[in-house]
Amino acid sequence: MATLYEGYTLCGLVKSPNSLDSGIHGIELESDNDHVVVTDSTRSVTLYKLSDQKPLGSWTVKQGQSLSCPAVYNAGTKEYVAVSDGKVIRVWQAGDLLLDKAFKATLSSTVWRVHCVPGGAELYVLFSRGAVRLLDALLAAPQQPIEEVLGQEEAIRWSAGVAAETQNFVVFTTEQKGSHFLYVQRLKPNSLQKFCLEPEDVGLAPLSYSACYRDGHISLLYLYPNGHVYKSVVSVRSPPLEEVGEAVPLPRTQLLCLPVGETLLEAASALFLDDDHIAVVGAPHPAAGAGTNFLCIWNTNFQTLQAGKEMAGKLYGQLWSYASKLFIPHGKSLTVIPYECPKSSLASALGKLKHAGAKVSRVPACVPSWSAVFNGETAMQSEPMETSQSNAQHSQSSSDGPVNQVLDLIKTATVEVIRKEVEAVLSQADIQGLQPWLGQLAGSLVSRSMADPSFYTPSTLATLVGTRCLCHSVCPELLMLALEKRDYSLVQLCLQSFPDVPENITCCCLKTFLSVPDGDVETASLEPGSLSFMETLTAQEHGTKLNGFSAAGGEHHHHHPERTSGLLVHTCPVGVHKAVLLNEVLQTPYSDTFLLPHLKDLSPQQVMLFLQYLQFLYFNYSEDSFEQEDKSRAPTLTQVLDWVCLLLDAHFTVLVMTPEARGLLVNLHSFVKYQVRFVSELGKLEGSLQELQHMREEKHIGQYSIQVIKLF
């Protein structure tokens, strides 16, 4: 798991207020990892020592002049090189106090950047028109003619120096009439390659680039304002000898799709950290709304967020990374944030939030249902083993074909045809083998249903859910669709078989169940087991009434005879079908911290009704006469009590303010009090009984006794 450590401020930013620019022109590493040269956009170059967080030296050009290119440090000659006013190269050493007295040379063409290749001792000068020269050669003849490489209206957007094993490269990107090109300038021997970047949506230009060399390839990382992060790879081993002219299309792969929401990113930047990790600045944190003031580290293999940090103040979309430190100008300061990206593994990648939108892989997601795993299908365990063997080929091909056909069918065919086809698929192959495809089937059914309101296949979906191979994460829209279509039997089935229903969905279901009129639910064909349980529960309540004694333990302690609520205790406040659905909600797994915020969305009426129902269950469970026959379909007493607590937690103030709720709460309170007292009495009793047992053990035998024994 990558970590962002506590950062520190290296320096303040010198800039005009409200400016969009950070005022930092560039940051370059000095002689060692502890020193950096910061060039600000006005006139000065400052050397900082990172461990001391303080400047060691500063050089400034004269008023009226400006630095047009960030200063770089030439480790070979121990000199600093900068360009002022586009054409004047300045070279100085650490000992030089005044920049004006240092060496100057005026060139014949405008310089874009001076690049120092990491680890190399040579500096390269990239001219604005695309030519590249070695600095030494240039200084020998400053006024030499510089050729033009770029075409008309083509301008450099970004450039970098890259060191491969034996060669150095200068890469730069250009823009010409909305098209973007990548140039790779090979040095010694010189050669130039030109690539054309695949166009993104109209009018979108990459916000940032980053390049690095890895395994014989130069990787280029670029981020678009819509949050897409792409990677393109250029091999360094195939030197093209043909003349520059025709741009070769450069293939790209999407690494990430950052969640950007509605708006486009304005100032953002993405940077390679290592093979698997990229740092992104200026994009929103997926868990924190639309604000873009975040520095995030993403794992590109698993598309997971590894670490995130909110930065104070405005971000300028600038980011540098040297020696495991990120340099990020924000607000009014430049902050250094050390980071760590250990080798990633699936386990660590799953640790933090996984953003659903970031998933771009085209392979059908195989999210096995945990319950299926734990229910111990050995076939399931042996399956992956076999998959790689010969047998798997067979099963793959046998199930692939029909499934693809069905997938195609789903897009067009009628409900009845689809039902038959799906049943045919399910019957012919073993379900475990089909598991990855079932999600796809369900997903496409759901998406068609959502797109086409007249299309809905309840029985097919029920069959798919009935296989118990699906889970909520495989097709997240299914449950909501069923709710929308008022297909309560499917909802029940989903709640029963999905082990991973999120709390907000659970709450949605609860809300729907509570607000739906009883009449609507009664038509639904719910699972008979759960129905019979509720029927016995309500029948019991009638039975006790008929016999003339209502054995509710709480009743004896109802010293506050609130008529209305007293009645509620003994009659189920909801219909049987509704109660069955509510029971399913009660039995859904949840974690209360996540449930609680959603629970607050219930309206007071819904809360009252639900609380009444829970009270009904609680009172009934506490009765001696109550015996659960089929335990599997009924919420346990603990579940009921947990929900009562949650509900009270979420809505306590509301309930206290609602006059109708008073009776209910008083009732509940007195009953709980009674039960607590009863249990404490039982505890005392247990103590004395234990003492009794203790006493029996230590039976004292006196000096003389007459006993009767029997021998057999």
**Residues near another protein, by CB under 8 A:** 701-712
| Beta carbon of residue 688, minimum distance to another protein (angstroms, whole number) | 24
Token pair 């950052």 in the structure block, residue: 258
Strand residue runs (E) in 320-446: 320-322, 325-330, 333-340
Of the pair 245, 702, the CB lying nearest another protein is at: 702
| Beta carbon of residue 588, minimum distance to another protein (angstroms, whole number) | 50
Q: Distance between CA 638 and CA 630 in Å, rounded? A: 17
Of the pair 374, 712, the CB lying nearest another protein is at: 712
Token pair 């001076």 in the structure block, residue: 114
| Beta carbon of residue 702, minimum distance to another protein (angstroms, whole number) | 7
What is the arrangement of strands in the sheet containing 228-235, beginning at the earlier edge strand? Answer: 208-214, 217-223, 228-235, 253-257
Up-side HSE of residue 85: CA atoms within 13 Å toward CB? 11
| Beta carbon of residue 699, minimum distance to another protein (angstroms, whole number) | 9
Of the pair 241, 706, the CB lying nearest another protein is at: 706
Of the pair 397, 707, the CB lying nearest another protein is at: 707
| Beta carbon of residue 695, minimum distance to another protein (angstroms, whole number) | 15
Going by C-alpha positions, the residue among 147, 138, 135, 236 that lies closest to residue 184 is 236
Q: How many CB atoms lie within 10 A of CB 323?
A: 11
Of the pair 653, 705, the CB lying nearest another protein is at: 705
Of the pair 451, 708, the CB lying nearest another protein is at: 708
| Beta carbon of residue 701, minimum distance to another protein (angstroms, whole number) | 7
| Beta carbon of residue 693, minimum distance to another protein (angstroms, whole number) | 18
CB neighbour list of residue 346: distance below 8 Å, 6 or more residues apart: 302
| Beta carbon of residue 700, minimum distance to another protein (angstroms, whole number) | 11
Of the pair 347, 706, the CB lying nearest another protein is at: 706
Q: Distance between CA 16 and CA 106 in Å, rounded? A: 30
Contact at 8 Å (CB) between 104 and 97?
A: no
Of the pair 453, 702, the CB lying nearest another protein is at: 702
Of the pair 203, 702, the CB lying nearest another protein is at: 702
Q: Distance between CA 67 and CA 18 in Å, rounded? A: 22
CB neighbour list of residue 193: distance below 8 Å, 6 or more residues apart: 183, 184, 186, 234, 240, 244, 248
Antiparallel, parallel or unpaired: β 168-176 and 155-163: antiparallel
Going by C-alpha positions, the residue among 336, 334, 299, 289 that lies closest to residue 315 is 334
| Beta carbon of residue 708, minimum distance to another protein (angstroms, whole number) | 5
Q: Distance between CA 380 and CA 385 in Å, rounded? A: 10
